Amino acid sequence: MSTTATGEGAHPRHRLDEVIHAPVRLSVMAALAEADRVAFSLLRDTVEVSDSLLSRHISTLESAGYVIVVKGYEGKRPRTWFSLTDQGRAAFERYRSTLRELIEGGPAEDADGPP
Give the H or E element holding residue 49.
Answer: none
Can you give the pTM of this predicted structure? 0.81
DSSP 7: S
Where residue 6 falls among pLDDT bands split at 50, 70, 90? low
- Region for residue 99 given its phi and psi (left: phi exceeds 0; alpha: psi -120 to 50; beta: otherwise): alpha
Instruction: Give the Cα separation of 75 and 84 in Å (integer).
Output: 24
pLDDT of residue 8: 62
Where residue 108 falls among pLDDT bands split at 50, 70, 90? very low
pLDDT of residue 110: 44
Q: Report all structural domains of the chain as residue ranges with CATH numbers, in order of start.
A: 15-104 (1.10.10.10)
> Is the model's pLDDT at 1 over the cut of 80?
no
Q: Which residues contact 64 (CB under 8 A, 6 or more apart)?
A: 19, 88, 91
